[in-house]
């Protein structure tokens, strides 16, 4: 048995489940938000929270574990793209666990206490906005894994940084600026 191929397959399958599921849920959230049906929108966000605990977090951790195992078995740790992929996956897992999960729990608690309130709706919109950035981060990680840039691939690395900075400016800056103004 070729352990490298098996581990790489499990790494990719885990990533597909994680990224594909997250992408679909973001699109459902965007559709519900544009539909101006607040109850439907909050319902989608609550489903994302449910899936986060049961699908996205386990799939993201599996992606990380199988990626580390693949890099180890394949002797890939000297490659920049492996390190960048690891940093990207760790960043998105941290964003999910430290930022999105607490907000999702806040939505669920608020919904259980009072239904679709302005606070629940506002937090749901924050989740969708942050999730959009997270999706961009995940797609940059995919680009990193496919293009395999090294230190001399400055054009690819520059584009990856520009994409992340632009996504952060569009989606993260308004959320955190708004939170800072409230606090």
Q: In angstroms, rounded to a whole number, what is the distance separating the alpha carbons of residues 173 and 109?
A: 26
Cα separation, 13 vs 8, whole angstroms: 9
Does residue 9 carry a pLDDT above 90?
Answer: yes
pLDDT winner (highest mean) among 20-34, 68-82, 96-110: 68-82
Task: Give the pair of three-digit tokens for residue 18.
Answer: 């994680």
| Tens of pLDDT, residues 136-172 | 999 999 999 999 999 999 999 999 999 999 999 999 9
User: Would you report the helix, strand and coil content of the chain in percent, each value rounded to 5?
Assistant: 90, 0, 10
pLDDT class of 183 with cuts at 50, 70, 90: low
Helix (H) or strand (E) holding 129: helix 118-147
Across the range 31-58, mean pLDDT stands at 90
Could you identify the residue written with the tokens 């900075």? Answer: 165
pLDDT tens figures, 84-126: 999 999 999 899 889 998 999 999 999 999 999 999 999 999 9
pTM above 0.75, yes or no: yes
Q: What is the pLDDT of residue 176?
A: 76
Nearest Cα to Cα of residue 14 among 81, 60, 69: 60
Q: What is the mean pLDDT of the chain?
A: 93
Per the structure block, which two tokens stand in for 16?
A: 């597909």
Identify whether the C-beta of residue 127 lies closer than 8 Å to the C-beta of residue 48.
Answer: yes
Phi–psi pair at 77, nearest 5 degrees: -65, -15
pLDDT score of 180: 67
């Amino acid at each position: 048995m070729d352990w490298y191929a098996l581990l790489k397959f499990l790494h990719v399958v885990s990533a597909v489940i994680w990224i594909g599921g997250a992408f679909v849920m973001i699109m459902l959230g965007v559709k519900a938000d544009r539909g101006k049906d607040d109850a439907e929108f909050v319902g989608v966000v609550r489903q994302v929270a449910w899936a986060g605990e049961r699908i996205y977090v386990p799939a993201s951790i599996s992606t990380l574990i199988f990626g580390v195992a693949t890099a180890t078995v394949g002797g890939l740790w000297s490659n920049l793209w492996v390190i960048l992929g690891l940093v990207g996956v760790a960043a998105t897992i941290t964003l999910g666990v430290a930022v999105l999960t607490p907000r999702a729990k806040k939505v669920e608690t608020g919904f259980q206490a009072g239904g679709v309130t302005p606070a629940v709706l506002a937090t749901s919109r924050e989740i969708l906005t942050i999730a959009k950035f997270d999706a961009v981060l995940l797609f940059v990680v995919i680009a990193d894994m496919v293009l395999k840039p090294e230190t001399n691939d400055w054009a690819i690395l520059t584009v990856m940084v520009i994409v992340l900075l632009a996504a952060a400016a569009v989606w993260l800056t308004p959320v955190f600026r708004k939170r800072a103004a409230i606090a």
